Structures are given as structure tokens and as C-alpha cells.
Amino acid sequence: MLFNVVKILLIILIFSANAQTFAQTSEKGMIPKGDVALSNGLIQGTRWALLIGITDYPSSATFDVQKLKASVKDAQALADLLKDPQRGGFESGQVSVLTNEKATRRNILINLNEIAKKVAKDDMFVFFFSGHGYYSGGGDTTYLIPYDYDMSDPETTCINFDDLSSKIQKMEASKVLMILDACHAGGVKPKGARDVGASVVTKYCEAFKSASGRYMLLSSDESEISWETEESGVFTRFLLDGLNGKADKNEDGIVTFMETANYVENTVPDYTRRNFPREQKPTRRGDLGGAQRGDIPLAINMYVVNRLR
């Protein structure tokens, strides 16, 4: 049975390891005057991302496969945020985006395997998939559906979530963020005049170094639908709003995982109750094993930095 998915969003954060506060030379990413930046020169290790968005699924003779509205937009919006030196700080060359016909099973797995060969112990890896998902009613298997799916043989032509999770968890990278989005997601098992920016980046790096843990944030319960509009998936919209600063409740200039989780858990249900036939409730889990310590910093809140300058 193919769920008429709007999206899958599941966040698994696996963080443990070392981070470095500041680079010593401009070649390594010293913050330029008048700017706040996060770069690979500021944090030990390299940050990688593989982002996938599929809206224009081909039709199927045997399954009802709806075309989605916002999956490609969501993948591109997240890529923009990650590559923004004032927010995510990923190097452009380390962020790969596959959309629609480029997002075949083979291309997804090849890109994943290539990144897996490159990542080192102190690196971070982000995997994002926005598209359809399939939960086999007769078993416990969940699949991510690539562009070139054949639902008569999902095990061969789709991506088994358990296999994907196993591949990613075997990566040498000590920091991993997995993002997936669909209904039934629960079934998938700057130096300024006063140096304000520099101090915020310092706090970010220190928090990054000291925090560890493995977390999931699901877009919805397994009995729910994850809604979307023409502009974006509802969950992704509030996820990005949170990372852009709205989740920074204590206004210290750093957006953390727990703050982001709290933000989407509070905003998505209220928004969907008012605008859709059924409520959507994101849920978080901390049952992936591993020691949990501190709160994982995810982004810089430039609204606070600019206000304090």
C-alpha cells in the first residue's frame, strides 16, 4: 500500500566529537571585518550534504503516485541555508542536490557512497530526502521512493530505509543529520564594531565541540499526514523559520537542535489545525542510542547578531 504522501521528514542527529573554535589565517576562514561567517576553517572537519527533492514522479499503472508541489523547493531552500556562510557555513562544493529525474536510485546511492569514502572522523554529513515514501503494510519495511521507482519490486527499485540508515551510521563521520519528510514519518523507524559576531561564533563552536547525541525529529505521527502548500512543506517551512532564528528562544544568537524541535512541535500542530482537515504533530525521539550531552548548535541567528552590533 502506497501512502499518498505529502512528504517525509525525519531528523536524525548523530553528534559526538571535536570542534575547533577559530582558524588562525584568512585562508582557513578567518571572519572578515563586518561579517559573521561559519566555514570549514572555523570548525575541525568538513561538512558534507546530499539533498534530494522529487515532485514530478512518473505515473504508475498499478499505484496512485501523486505529483508533489514543494519537494524540490524544500531541498533547494535547505541547500541555500546550509551554504549561507552566516547561517550554515557549508562549502558550496560539499553540498550536492539531486532533484526529479536526477534523483534516481542509482544516483542517490552513488553520491552517498562517494561521500562515505571522503568523510573523516571529525566531519559532519547531512542527508535530506523530500518526496514519497512507502510503508509495506504486511511488514515493518519503509522505503524512500526515488524518481525511477517500480512499485512491483520496491526492494530492488526503491531505497530501503533500514539499509540507508545502516549505510549512514557506518560512515566514519561523527556528526550526522538525516532529514526525511512525508506523512506517516513515524513509521520510519561576524566581526562587528563591538566584536559581537566573533563572540557568537565562538559560542557556537564551543557548543558544537561539547555536545553529542543521537536524535530524531519526525514530521508527523505514523497515523498522520504531513501537509504541503504550493510554496513548501509545512514542516520544512517551520523548520527553516526556526533555523533562521525564530527557534532561538533565549536569543543568544545560536539556534540549537532542542530549540528547533520545540519550535516545530509548537507551531506545526497549531498551523495545521487552522488550515488543513487534520492536525499534524511532529515528534522527537532520543532512542537511537549513544550518550547524550549538551544541545547541538545548528545555525547562527543573524537577527540577534545584527541587533547587538
- Alpha carbon distance 299, 197 (integer Å): 13
Q: What is the pLDDT of residue 3?
A: 39
Q: What is the pLDDT of residue 136?
A: 66
What is the residue extent of each domain of the chain? 9-308
Instruction: Name the nearest CA neighbour of 290 among 15, 18, 47, 19.
Output: 15
Q: pLDDT tens for residues 162-201?
A: 888 778 777 887 777 777 776 544 433 322 323 344 556 6
Q: What is the pLDDT of residue 82?
A: 87
Strand bridging mode 142-144 / 159-160? antiparallel
**With a threshold of 0.75, does the pTM exceed it?**
no
Please state which architecture CATH assigns to domain 9-308: 3-Layer(aba) Sandwich (3.40)
Positive or negative CA dihedral for 52, 159, 60, 102? positive
Q: pLDDT tens for residues 133-172?
A: 777 665 567 788 899 988 888 889 999 888 887 787 778 8
Task: Give the residues of the chain that fall short of pLDDT 50.
Answer: 1-34, 184-197, 288-290
